[in-house]
C-alpha cells in the first residue's frame, strides 16, 4: 500500500513539474536578430545584435511584470542571402519568437522577409535601405531608416555642391550596392554630372582590371555602391596608382573597420565622403545615455546602426506589450504584434520621433553626408558631419 501511495505521489509530482515547465515555456517571449556576426561585416553586424540586446535588458520591464521572460535570439546571417533564409525558416518555426530585428544587408533581408511575411512575423529593420524592402507593402515589414532611392540622389546632389563635374560609378553587384549606385547615376545625369563609366564587381582583393579604365577616364569622383570591406580596399589601391580625386560611397562604408583597411588613402587627395541613413550615434540628441550604457556593457563605441537597432527592438517590445495587454496579459499572436508595430505613432526613440507610413517607411527620414577626418578607428564616430537632410520617402 505504501509503495502504491508513493508511486501515485511521484506521478502527481511529475505531472505538476511537467505543467510548470510547459507554463514556463509558454511565458518566454523571444525577439530574434539577424545580422553578420562573422566575416568582413561583423563589426557592424555584431553591434546591431548588441543594440537590440541592450534594449531588451533595459526596456522589457513591463512584460516582465506581466509574467513574461523576454529573451534575445541572435542569428548570424553572414551577410549571405542563403544563410539568412535558412535562419529565417528556423526563426519562424519557433512560436515564442514574436518579432525580428534585422538585417544589415538588403540583399539578405529581402528574401528572408518573404519567410517572415508568410509566417506573419513582424520585422523591424534598423538598416535596410533598398526600396523593395517596403515597396512590397508587407504589413510585417517596417524600417526606421531611409531609402536608397533618396540616399543615392543625396550623394549625387552633394557631389554637385562640391563642384564635381564627372564621376565613375562602381557597385558590388548586390541588391543594395547596385541599387544605390543606379540611383546615384540617375541623379548625376539629371543634374549635369558626366558619368564616365558604370560597372559592377565582386572582386575584394585585386582591383587592377577595374581601376585601369577608371583612372584612364580621369573622373573627379569615384563612387562606390556597396560595403566598406570592398570599397576601402579599392580606394586604397586607387590612391596607390596615383588617383587624387574624391571618393564617395554610401552607408555600407560606415564602419570603423574602413579606416583600418583604407588608412591614409582615405584622407589623401580630395578626401573621402559617404552618405548614410544612420549618422554617428552622437548625431542624435537622445543617444548620450545609450552611448554611455553601450560602452559600459560592451567596452567600445557603438558602430553605425547600433542605435537604430536599439530603437527597433524598443518598438518591438512596445508592440508586444500593447498586444499582450489587449489579450488580457496573455501571450499575444504574431498578427496582433505586427498590427501593433504599425499602429505606433510619434514614438520618441533615441534616434528621433518614429511614425510609419502605410508602406512601413518613416514619414520623414534623416540622411547624412559624412567626411572621413581621421583614420583612427576609435575616432570614427567623430568624423565630420558635412550635411544633414530630413526627407519624405517618394510617393
Judged by average pLDDT, the poorest of 13-22, 195-204, 251-260 is: 13-22
Quick one: pLDDT at residue 236? 98
Give the 3-state secondary structure of residue 336: helix
Judged by average pLDDT, the poorest of 4-18, 123-137, 329-343 is: 4-18
DSSP assignment, residue 66?
Answer: T
Whether 17 has a pLDDT exceeding 60, the answer reads no
Omega before 112 cis (within 30°)? Answer: no
Contact 230, 204 (CB under 8 A): yes
| pLDDT tens digits, one per residue of 141-191 | 999 999 999 999 999 999 999 999 999 999 999 989 999 999 999 999 999
Contact 78, 336 (CB under 8 A): no
C-alpha cell at 206: 585585386
Quick one: pLDDT at residue 315? 98
Domain with CATH 3.40.50.2300 in the chain: 10-145+283-363, 149-276+368-391
Q: Residues 368-394: what's their mean pLDDT?
A: 93
Judged by average pLDDT, the poorest of 18-22, 111-115, 126-130, 188-192 is: 18-22
The C-alpha atoms of residue 378 and residue 385 are separated, in whole angstroms, by 17
Q: Where does residue 270 rank: exposed (0-12), middle (13-18), buried (19+ CB within 10 A)?
A: middle
pLDDT tier, 23 (very low <50, low <70, confident <90, very high otherwise): very low
Please tell me the pTM assigned to this model.
Answer: 0.85
| pLDDT tens digits, one per residue of 336-353 | 999 999 999 999 999 999
Assign domain 10-145+283-363 to its CATH architecture. 3-Layer(aba) Sandwich (3.40)
Whether 217 has a pLDDT exceeding 50, the answer reads yes
Whether 84 has a pLDDT exceeding 80, the answer reads yes
C-alpha cell at 214: 577608371
Q: Which CATH number fits domain 149-276+368-391: 3.40.1280.10, 3.40.50.2300, 3.40.50.300, 3.30.230.10?
A: 3.40.50.2300
Percent above pLDDT 90 for the chain = 89
| pLDDT tens digits, one per residue of 108-121 | 999 999 999 999 99
Quick one: pLDDT at residue 285? 83
Q: Residues 16-21: what's their mean pLDDT?
A: 44
pLDDT tier, 282 (very low <50, low <70, confident <90, very high otherwise): confident
Quick one: pLDDT at residue 15? 47
| pLDDT tens digits, one per residue of 310-341 | 999 999 999 999 999 999 999 999 999 999 99
Q: Residues 373-388: what's their mean pLDDT?
A: 93
Quick one: pLDDT at residue 49? 98
How far is Cα of residue 283 from the mean position of the Cα atoms in its chain? 17
DSSP assignment, residue 242?
Answer: T
| pLDDT tens digits, one per residue of 31-72 | 999 999 999 899 999 999 999 999 999 999 999 999 999 999
Whether 21 has a pLDDT exceeding 90, the answer reads no
The C-alpha atoms of residue 345 and residue 353 are separated, in whole angstroms, by 9
Quick one: pLDDT at residue 4? 54
Q: Where does residue 292 rank: exposed (0-12), middle (13-18), buried (19+ CB within 10 A)?
A: exposed
Amino acid at each position: 500500500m505504501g509503495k502504491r501511495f508513493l508511486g501515485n505521489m511521484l506521478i502527481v509530482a511529475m505531472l505538476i513539474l511537467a505543467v510548470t515547465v510547459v507554463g514556463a515555456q509558454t511565458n518566454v517571449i523571444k525577439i530574434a536578430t539577424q545580422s553578420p556576426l562573422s566575416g568582413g561585416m561583423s563589426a557592424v553586424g555584431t553591434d546591431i545584435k548588441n543594440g537590440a540586446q541592450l534594449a531588451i535588458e533595459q526596456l522589457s520591464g513591463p512584460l516582465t511584470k506581466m509574467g513574461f521572460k523576454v529573451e534575445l535570439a541572435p542569428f548570424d546571417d553572414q551577410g549571405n542571402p542563403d544563410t539568412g533564409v535558412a535562419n529565417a525558416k528556423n526563426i519562424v518555426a519557433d512560436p515564442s519568437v514574436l518579432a525580428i530585428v534585422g538585417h544589415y544587408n538588403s540583399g539578405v533581408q529581402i528574401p528572408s522577409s518573404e519567410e517572415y511575411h508568410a509566417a506573419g512575423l513582424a520585422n523591424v529593420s534598423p538598416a535596410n535601405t533598398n526600396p523593395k524592402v517596403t515597396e512590397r507593402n508587407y504589413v510585417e515589414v517596417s524600417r526606421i531608416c531611409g531609402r536608397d532611392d533618396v540616399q543615392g540622389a543625396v550623394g549625387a546632389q552633394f557631389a554637385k555642391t562640391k563642384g564635381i563635374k564627372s564621376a565613375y560609378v562602381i557597385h558590388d553587384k548586390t541588391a543594395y550596392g547596385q541599387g544605390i549606385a543606379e540611383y546615384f547615376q540617375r541623379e548625376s545625369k539629371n543634374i549635369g554630372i558626366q558619368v564616365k563609366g558604370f560597372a559592377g564587381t565582386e572582386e575584394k582583393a585585386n582591383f587592377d582590371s577595374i581601376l585601369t579604365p577608371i583612372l584612364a577616364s580621369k573622373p573627379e569622383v569615384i563612387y562606390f555602391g556597396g560595403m566598406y570591406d570592398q570599397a576601402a580596399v579599392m580606394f586604397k589601391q586607387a590612391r596607390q596608382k596615383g588617383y587624387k580625386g574624391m571618393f564617395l560611397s554610401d552607408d555600407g562604408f560606415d564602419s570603423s573597420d574602413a579606416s583600418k583597411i583604407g588608412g591614409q588613402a582615405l584622407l589623401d587627395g580630395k578626401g573621402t565622403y559617404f552618405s548614410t541613413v544612420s549618422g554617428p550615434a552622437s548625431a542624435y540628441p537622445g543617444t548620450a545615455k545609450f552611448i554611455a550604457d553601450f560602452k559600459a556593457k560592451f567596452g567600445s563605441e557603438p558602430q553605425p546602426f547600433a542605435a537604430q537597432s536599439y530603437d527597433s527592438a524598443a518598438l518591438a517590445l512596445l508592440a508586444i506589450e500593447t498586444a499582450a495587454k489587449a489579450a488580457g496579459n496573455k501571450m499575444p499572436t504574431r498578427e496582433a504584434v505586427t498590427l501593433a508595430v504599425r499602429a505606433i505613432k510619434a514614438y520618441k526613440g533615441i534616434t528621433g520621433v518614429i511614425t510609419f507610413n502605410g508602406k512601413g517607411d518613416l514619414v520623414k527620414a534623416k540622411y547624412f553626408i559624412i567626411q572621413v577626418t581621421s583614420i583612427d578607428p576609435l575616432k570614427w564616430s567623430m568624423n565630420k558631419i558635412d550635411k544633414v537632410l530630413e526627407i519624405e520617402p517618394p510617393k
